[in-house]
Amino acid sequence: MRRAVFLDRDGVLNEVVLVNGKPHPPASVEGVKVLPGVVDAVATLRREGFCLVVVTNQPDVARGTTPRAAVDAINDHLRGLLRLDGVETCFHDDADGCGCRKPAPGLLLQSAARLKIDLSRSYMVGDRWRDIAAGRRANCRSILIGSGYGETFRDMPDASCESLWVATQWILSREGSAHAGVG
């Protein structure tokens, strides 16, 4: 069974668009700005043998404010740029009550089954309470990137880091890697 790092997309890999202090995804591939250190972080995690899977909620599709094709194009762009092993997307809104929308663990569980991932040896990295809760419910260690936008957290992260690069160093230190701190 493989180890994985599950990555939220917006706010972890790429910049969010803040509207009244609330994070929103970019509207198109042209609006995607990969955050500093992300390319090096994912390359380091890959070199250390981690499977890399994006797990992202994209409810604007269900809300009718973003076309699915735009979300798919952004996902495809990031998959190619970062050489990701997978991208799992929930297109539902809270009212749909699906098992894949974070904080439910469905996206992580689907990936684990498909890619033969040991969730107990894996990590969930996100920038919102939903990411941390989904990681906990899937039996992964959870890492918060940034401040959490002032949201209330019922499930506390195992670590809080300022960036994916810092989170990568924390993961490698937990795994006893000789590469922890390199970069």
Catalytic (active-site) positions: 8, 10
What tokens does 74 get? 């952004």
CB 21 within 8 A of CB 148: no
User: d(Cα 162, Cα 35) in Å, to the nearest integer?
Assistant: 11
Dihedral over Cα of 12, 158, 21, 24: its sign:
positive
Distance of CA 153 to the CA centre of its chain: 17
- The amino acid occupying position 92 is H
Q: 44 in helix, strand or coil?
A: helix
Q: Do residues 78 and 55 lie in contact, with contact meaning Cβ atoms separated by under 8 Å?
A: no
* Beta carbons of 178 and 48 less than 8 angstroms apart: no
Count, in order, helices (H) and strands (E) of the chain: 5, 8
